[in-house]
Amino acid sequence: MNILSASPLLLSSIFLAIAVAALLWAELKSSFLGISLAKPVASTLFVITALFAGALSSTFGLLILLGLLLSWMGDVLLISKHQLFFMAGLGSFLLAHVAYSCAFLLLPLDLPSLILPAIAMAAVAATILRWLWPHLTRNFRPAVVCYLGAISLMVILAGGTAADAGPQLAIAAALFAVSDIFVARDRFVSPSAANRLLGLPLYYAAQLIFALSSRNGHWPGGA
């Protein structure tokens, strides 16, 4: 990849980092206006990065782009603290995980590489569900179970792509999963800005990796 083709990706990634820094500052200051401005900008930038990376050139890329767009919608919905918007945002992110999983199914999957992520995610999902269950209302319990299933499948399938595509998709999926733990803690267990200050960088790092890998599952300029 030459410098000219890399420049748009580099610039969009830098602007994304700046927007995330602004979002974290707004979260630290509890500025609803700042969050309402910075969050959509940051999320729009990972969509733009995917377009620069060539997401429109393959079915894999289109599915990753769909996941990013659904994530963008979820980010906007979660700006509001209202329960209805939170449920809609949860549904949007669930569909994003499904889109990512469908994209990963298009890549060569190494079946033995699926075993360890499957065991790990079964244990993690069971632990998280046990932790959250007493804090969930009856309305949220089915939604959280479905969401845990969707993100667990995404992480497992991402792990299976590592032999062919490299570790980046598995890393991004794991970062996304960890960031969701902070979202759950903030919403259901112990609300605080610390959850968002820790979770948001992980989330945006995950989306940036997905965006950069959206052409064919590899880093820009890779095979």
What pLDDT shows up at residue 1? 45
CA distance 197 to 56: 32
pLDDT > 80? residue 197? yes
CA distances to 35, 46, 205 from 80, rounded to whole Å, are 10, 21, 23
CA distance 219 to 222: 5
pLDDT > 60? residue 3? no
- Cα 204 to the center of its chain, rounded Å: 7
- Which pLDDT tens digit goes with each residue over 60-74? 999 999 999 999 999
- Give DSSP secondary structure letters for 17-63: HHHHHHHHHHHHTT-HHHHHHHHHHHHHHHHHHHHHHTGGGSHHHHH
CA distance 5 to 9: 8
- Which pLDDT tens digit goes with each residue over 84-137? 999 999 999 999 999 999 999 999 998 888 998 899 999 999 999 999 999 998
CA distance 167 to 160: 10
